[in-house]
Amino acid sequence: MLFAKKKKTPTEITNQSHKLRVTKSYFSHRMSQLSKVRLMRHSTVHDTTLLPESKDSGNACYAKHANYSCFLSGDIRVNLLMPLMTIHTMWLREHNRLASELSQINPKWDDETLYQESRKITIAEYQHITYKEFLPMIFGSQKMKELGLLIEEDKPYNGYDINTDAGIHNAFASAAYRFGHTLVQSNVQLRDENYNVKAEIPLRDTYMNPTILYNRGFDDVVRGMVGQKAQEPDHYTSEEIRGRLLQRFYMTNGYDLTAMSILRGRDHGIPPYLQWREFCKLPVPNSWEDMKNFMNEDYVETLQKAYRSIEDIDLIPGGIGEHHVEGALLGPTHICLLGKQFSNLRKGDRFWYENLNHPGAFTKDQLKEIYKISHARIICDNSDDIQKVPKNAFVATSDVNPILDCDEIPKLDLNLWRET
């Protein structure tokens, strides 16, 4: 394996992607890749309801399912598992939907203008949904306020800071944000139009497997992802990714994603858990007994069997084992690291969707339209025929989060983009 070495700089892993985490699902940072997934025909990324087909015979997915083409996207991991393919497809459809409608509203726009404007709106929608719906679920309302992450639609945004680095930190990408692996269920559900479970597929059978999406199963997968509850956010990980990752595909026993993530952290030079508690100005334990103030006693005993010293604990097992902050899904160390990263992504991005102080910014009226967007609306606009969806598609249905008809969910009015 080849490594590029840098001199007279801190030991750091080179980021091969764009430093800002926009909708990389299909907006590849590589022009050669982008040219493959983007067609210059009405600015659509691909002129089908699914992702572009990958013709790479060396693709492992292609080798397994020769009768079904695997997918091509801006992210090479698109074929890893079926829910991931579905999410990529959803956002591709949204871009194409915007491009199609904008071409009707502004018939004189050329392909490049249509592509760039559709891309700009899609990125803004993605950012808004992340900060308005997803992050509050992770951090809780109080921490969102403390971290300065609230989207305040009634106030002008003046948060851009030229001195803030919006790049992705190693500890975030290689460790802290991987807490999401603990949320993964052992199966993928398919649900009908009333959100009743039709089938449950072991996660291992969805790896590199596009067949259901080709057989008109897109809506069933989407409803399954919306209706199925995640696992509890804790130190437990499903056996489907802890020892069975890519099982029956590359090897008999499969990979252990948790072990791989820990080893990746070491390979990337991620400092151990206690150093991050110090970085976050949190109390630093001096003994295994002290650790029990932050974690369950049984888990501390498990760590004690795996590590010679508390100073050796890796960030991943340390962070996911902490007691959760009240109202949040994470402990204080991960809240600190994720909060810092998401704050920097917003403050350090000159082209952040709320920032109206740069050439090419949205108008105030256009921004008001972006504020209407929700994940539920994206599903309604880009499914095959889903007619109803929970108000907040990230959260289980309840009295405060009912299932609504798509007609009840606010939508974007693209007439605000009409060029006069």
Q: What φ, ψ does residue 279 adopt, rounded to 5°?
A: -60, -40
DSSP letter assigned to residue 324: P
> Do the Cβ atoms of 325 and 131 come closer than 8 Å?
no
Query: CB-hemisphere CA count at 13 Å for 145?
Result: 3
> Do the Cβ atoms of 262 and 307 come closer than 8 Å?
no
**Residue 18 is assigned to a ligand binding site:** no
> Do the Cβ atoms of 307 and 270 come closer than 8 Å?
no
DSSP 209-277: --HHHHTT-HHHHHHHHHHSPPPPSSS---TTTEEEETBTTTBSS-EEHHHHHHHHHHHTTPPPHHHHH
Question: And the tokens for 300?
Answer: 């501390």
> Do the Cβ atoms of 213 and 50 come closer than 8 Å?
yes
Three-state DSSP at 28 gives: coil
Which residues sit in the known binding site? 181
Which residues sit in the known binding site for heme b? 181
